[in-house]
Structure 1
């Protein structure tokens, strides 16, 4: 795996073929979020729009944790107010990171190697798939710090991944959800054996790469577009538009190959 990173201070970016691995790189602070990290995450995910050579992104944390949420020693003022994390500073804030992850053309696989708390939970929810190590832990952040448990879109994202009741439990109580319960809830797709998270992520990425480049990008685009449209008519219109856009040479070649392999019987 080669180092493909620009001079980031809080992120490590490595490349293996068409897959890029993004690592939140503040292990001494459990990869908690600083304003520098916010700026760098916005820059990284926004850049993916113009990088078709990257087809899948995996996202993980350095050391023992995925992301412990906001670094309250840097991002909170003495009166407890967040310093610029959500404010309009003339550039995207932390909310922009969540949107940029979802809007990146590439599928994003969260490899949750440890605690994913607050903003860390929401980073994982914004990804397209979540895979967990046995040490993974998921919980909301601010509800036990005297603020709303609904932060950064968690009230939108979490009920779309797990049931409304389970989402309410996590958001209202701030309870931690360990890896095996996360699997039972559908919060993660698989729990890897100890030491096997990176290999599991690579296997999922390899399956995605079997799709055509255009097909994979349009699938990501349509999947999230349809999730965010509140009517069946809107969803069907989005799917129809995508199929029309996909009816090109690559689709015809793959369809011809499928027919040649399977014959008219489809067997």
Structure 2
């Protein structure tokens, strides 16, 4: 077995590794426990809408998570019995109707960059969706890796209800891959709500939970992921995303290269040694 390098050069680590336990969130809540970060959208009086500021902070935070060594899985949720009502009508929608084209493109690129950053961060993201999950909120759930919902979840890609196209923040690329072309087309053309039961039957939700247990179950799943081989999990997430644009032949070769890299990790060796000793492996993420 190849032995892993015992340490990373400090100069290299200084620019590429950081700890986010003390991250001071300004526009949502942040908690880190046992390698699981919980991001809570916390404007319950308005069903947790997004603002220009919260979009920008989410973009920056998910970008930083690419370098975080103390975060191994993420839970994204909302407070007060709802997930996210989308862009704030007064703080985003109102100002948008007064902006010129260059500023509008600045905004739409910023919102798209949130999804790009979510997909590029190596940590799997579990969305815990209760109640209203609309517009950009539905996009945040869609861009997560796994989704837990409740029977009272109402997920709506309601862009056409406000005179816009359904092709927002990657919806036309990602949603059909999750629930199928026909069902995605129905939601994007009509802007109607997808119930929790429909979401579970269509594969949007991995599981439906009781509202009081939703966050706990999502955090428990995230903790199970965080206890696994985090480097390898990051490779899995990367390949799940990148292989959308590959042929089968390209995907097989890319996976061969990715898996060979994972075989160099200490976690691969630890799993083998634990198997030989008839023990459960304790992964360290390297």
* Alignment TM-score > 0.5, same fold: yes
Aligned equivalents of 2:251, 2:240: Cα separation in 1: 9
Match of 2:251 in 1: 235
Distance 1:205 1:40, change over 3 A: same
TM-score by length of 1: 0.89
Structure 2 counterparts to residues 243-262 of structure 1, below 5 A: 243-248=259-264, 249-261=266-278
Q: CA deviation at 1:214?
A: 1.7
Distance 1:237 1:27, change over 3 A: same
Aligned equivalents of 1:214, 1:251: Cα separation in 2: 10
Match of 2:167 in 1: 150
Q: CA deviation at 1:202?
A: 2.2
Structure 2 counterparts to residues 48-127 of structure 1, below 5 A: 48-77=65-94, 80=97, 87-88=105-106, 93-127=110-144
Aligned equivalents of 2:220, 2:81: Cα separation in 1: 22
Aligned equivalents of 1:59, 1:209: Cα separation in 2: 15
Count of aligned pairs: 258
Query: Which segments of 5 or more consecutive residues in structure 2 lack a partner in the other structure?
Result: 1-19, 280-286
SS at match of 1:21: strand
Which structure exhibits the higher relative contact order, with contacts defined as CA atoms closer than 8 Å and separated by 6 or more residues? 2
Aligned equivalents of 1:157, 1:219: Cα separation in 2: 17
Query: Which segments of 5 or more consecutive residues in structure 1 lack a partner in the other structure?
Result: 263-267
The range that moved more, 74-83 or 241-250, is 74-83
Aligned equivalents of 1:94, 1:244: Cα separation in 2: 35
Aligned equivalents of 1:11, 1:190: Cα separation in 2: 25
Q: CA deviation at 1:215?
A: 1.6
Q: Does 1:26 align with 2:43?
A: yes
Distance 1:78 1:59, change over 3 A: closer
Once the two structures are superposed, what CA deviation does each residue of 1:103-133 show, in whole Å capped at 9, x if it has no partner? 1110000000221111111100110000012
More helix by share: 2
Q: CA deviation at 1:169?
A: 0.9
Match of 1:188 among 181, 205, 216: 205
Once the two structures are superposed, what CA deviation does each residue of 1:207-242 show, in whole Å capped at 9, x if it has no partner? 213422222222222221223x23112211221111
Match of 2:145 in 1: 128
TM-score by length of 2: 0.83
Aligned equivalents of 2:168, 2:93: Cα separation in 1: 15
SS at match of 1:106: coil
Contact between 2:31 and 2:39, CA under 8 Å: does it hold in 1? yes
Structure 1 runs of 4+ aligned residues shifted over 2 Å read: 3-9, 76-89, 255-262
Once the two structures are superposed, what CA deviation does each residue of 1:165-201 show, in whole Å capped at 9, x if it has no partner? 1111111111101111110010100000231101211
Distance 1:82 1:161, change over 3 A: farther
